[in-house]
Structure 1
Amino acid sequence: MERLIVIVLFDQVDLLDVTGPPEVFALLRRELDGETGYRVVLAAETLEPVTTSAGVRVLPDITFDELASRRIDTLLVPGAVEVDEQGRVRAISDPAVVERVRVLAGQTRRVASVCVGAHILADAGLLDGRRATTHWSTAQQLAAEHPAIEVDADPIFIRDKDVWTGAGLTACLDLSLALVADDFGEAAALRVARQLVMFLKRPSGQSQFSVSLEPVSTTRRIDDVRHYISRHLAGSLTVVDLAAHMHVSERQLTRVFKTELGMTPAAYIESARVEVARNQLETTDHTLERVASLSGFNTTDTLTRAFRRQLDTTPTEYRNRFRLN
């Protein structure tokens, strides 16, 4: 049975949010020899061309009013941002679009947002009491404006029952593949991923960004200890060691990490070690024992447990997906 997917259009919407998912869904039809799949329509207030953030104009297929009596399988909501004079990015949403999304969600089996489209879902009240993600650059905005939402800026997408939220722009492909897998199975999603020449299917727990790309902290002292950690990952890095290096008490060290980085010293160290292990798995043929040693985990069991916590996968599965050569 053909499933109706509606993608919401509005002025200054991010172009890739709109065009990425349909490519995934179209390839599914080809992989299944046209026997089943999705019907994708672009919906807007009118049938006039919509100007995207890239300046490319897109023609809607249908108006919101024409969808009033239709049963929708999946409602996909892209996003839009504005940049102020200081270069700060902020998600924006039109109240009229928010209201349309709220109404359409009531006649939809499954709702999903792409990138900062999560802000529109949030403004429509669809994420209250749920765990959700968005692009890392607007995650703090989402959390501040909607305290009823459990915002997690790390994963590339999150599923909370019938509501899905995706992260950065290219994560729209991962989210779309996850929707395909949910509807037609992992094998079908894998076939589509191969057609897209993607690194197979990234798990939802895959991080949006690495430890090295985290926002710069606000004090020189915490930067110093982060650099110290990066130089000594293969060695012993206890809270006692770090507190002595910073000339503070263990309690104060933990307080500084939570205030500056939003995590405990142990969680930060584990994230940094996972980052090193990821790089080793992507670029070398080292055994898991060697990777565990170089990254400071020492044993493959410890390495595996950390990967399951951080990335929701195993080192072997990660290497199979992301090996670069």
Structure 2
Amino acid sequence: MHRVVVVAYDGVVPFDLSVPVEVFGRARLADGGAAYQVRVCGATDEVRAGALGLRVPYDLSLLTEADTVVVPGMADLDTPLPEPLRAALAGSPARLLSICTGAFVLAAAGRLDGRRATTHWAAASELARRYPTVVVDPEVLFVEDESVFTSAGAAAGLDLCLHVVRRDHGAAVAAETARSCVMPLERAGGQAQFIAYEPPAPAGHNLASLLEWLTENLHRPLTLAEIAAYATMSPRSLSRHFREQTGTTPMRWLSRHRVRRAQHLLERSDQPVERIGELVGFTSPTAFRTCFRQLVGVSPRDYRATFRPPGLAVSG
């Protein structure tokens, strides 16, 4: 039977800890047998988990026997990682999964070096800052990089666990597991988190005035040639410098920031959706809807319906 070991440690997020225990614990094969053996282990017998104190039945020796190891998120990113846990994760031959800020634990153990990974959108820039060898993709729900899987915020951990069940045992088992957990089948890993992420600009970078100008001119339908002219560079040179210093292209940077501004307007203004697209620089309603859905994962109207404050009247 496939052995899943969930790691508990001081400062672990209780919800993140419970997600893999429940999802993998509920998975059943066609004959009714358990699809996984699930165990929780830790460096100590007891751990603090927010308002809870938890007794941990197994020690870290299980990591050498596990087929899959799941690392839940940590509430405080500055919580010291116990050296026995770091060493155990560094040497574990198992498939590795992290939920939310559990990516910081994997990164501290050196298991994300050179890999693409994700985490909660609010912590993505900090993950990139602390671990520059990690290729942080903050726009997706989960990432699969060979035998290492990382997921975004807590609910994305449910998506990742169901994705793994489907990979291991097929769609029918995953569907029945989702039904048992009273949740829908998982969203695709490439779907965007709801917050459009802005990659951090390196300290002392020389594009500060250009980025400020772009921010002030989001409402204009700027072209790469216009941006390059303002920066007194060729389009090719601008694109190279821009990617080196921001991690993306000028036009993608514009799209992200336009969507960020659109999110704000969708939440707090009464402007019609089409008008908001115009206000943030999109040349047509179709272009706005397409870009918004690509970056956020839902349509502008659906985003507004989900996130606008109760009682705020809107025109569309």
TM-score of the aligned structures, taking structure 1 as reference length = 0.68
Residue identity opposite 1:49 in structure 2:
E
Return closer, same or farther for 1:256/1:146 CA change in 2, 3 Å cut-off: closer
Return closer, same or farther for 1:141/1:94 CA change in 2, 3 Å cut-off: farther
Matched, 1:100 2:88: yes
Work out whether residues 190 and 201 of structure 1, in 8 Å CA contact, stay in contact via their aligned partners in 2.
Answer: no
Displacement of 1:182 after TM fit?
A: 1.1
Displacement of 1:139 after TM fit?
A: 3.4
Q: Which residue of 2 aligns with 1:80?
A: 74
Q: Which residue of 1 aligns with 2:114?
A: 129
Return closer, same or farther for 1:130/1:273 CA change in 2, 3 Å cut-off: same
Displacement of 1:19 after TM fit?
A: 0.8
Number of corresponding residues:
292
Q: Which residue of 2 aligns with 1:285?
A: none
Q: Which residue of 2 aligns with 1:24?
A: 23
CA deviation digits over 1:19-47, x for unaligned, max 9? 12222223333x8573341221111234x
Return closer, same or farther for 1:177/1:55 CA change in 2, 3 Å cut-off: same
Matched, 1:63 2:71: no
Give, in whole Å, the separation in 1 of the partners of 2:57 and 2:27.
21
Return closer, same or farther for 1:307/1:113 CA change in 2, 3 Å cut-off: same
Residue identity opposite 2:60 in structure 1:
F
Return closer, same or farther for 1:169/1:35 CA change in 2, 3 Å cut-off: same
Look up the SS of the partner of 2:101 in the other structure. Answer: helix
Work out whether residues 91 and 116 of structure 1, in 8 Å CA contact, stay in contact via their aligned partners in 2.
Answer: no
Residue identity opposite 1:24 in structure 2:
V
Which of 162, 169, 172 is equivalent to 1:177?
A: 162
Q: Which residue of 2 aligns with 1:34?
A: 32
**Map of 1:278-317 to 2, 5 A cutoff?**
296=282
Q: Which residue of 2 aligns with 1:7?
A: 6
Q: Which residue of 1 aligns with 2:171?
A: 186
Give, in whole Å, the separation in 2 of the partners of 1:16 and 1:196.
14
Look up the SS of the partner of 1:75 in the other structure. Answer: strand
Residue identity opposite 1:45 in structure 2:
A
Return closer, same or farther for 1:134/1:7 CA change in 2, 3 Å cut-off: same
Residue identity opposite 2:84 in structure 1:
A
Give, in whole Å, the separation in 2 of the partners of 1:113 and 1:227.
38
Matched, 1:160 2:145: yes
Give, in whole Å, the separation in 1 of the partners of 2:79 and 2:212.
29
Look up the SS of the partner of 1:115 in the other structure. Answer: coil
Residue identity opposite 2:215 in structure 1:
R
Look up the SS of the partner of 1:165 in the other structure. Answer: strand
Work out whether residues 99 and 150 of structure 2, in 8 Å CA contact, stay in contact via their aligned partners in 1.
Answer: yes
Work out whether residues 198 and 256 of structure 2, in 8 Å CA contact, stay in contact via their aligned partners in 1.
Answer: no
Residue identity opposite 1:8 in structure 2:
V
Look up the SS of the partner of 2:27 in the other structure. Answer: helix
TM-score of the aligned structures, taking structure 2 as reference length = 0.69
Q: Which residue of 2 aligns with 1:226?
A: 215
CA deviation digits over 1:158-201, x for unaligned, max 9? 11111111222322112111111211223433444455454542
> Unaligned 5+ residue runs, structure 2?
267-276, 307-316
> Unaligned 5+ residue runs, structure 1?
83-88, 281-291
Displacement of 1:4 after TM fit?
A: 1.3
CA RMSD of aligned residues (A): 4.6
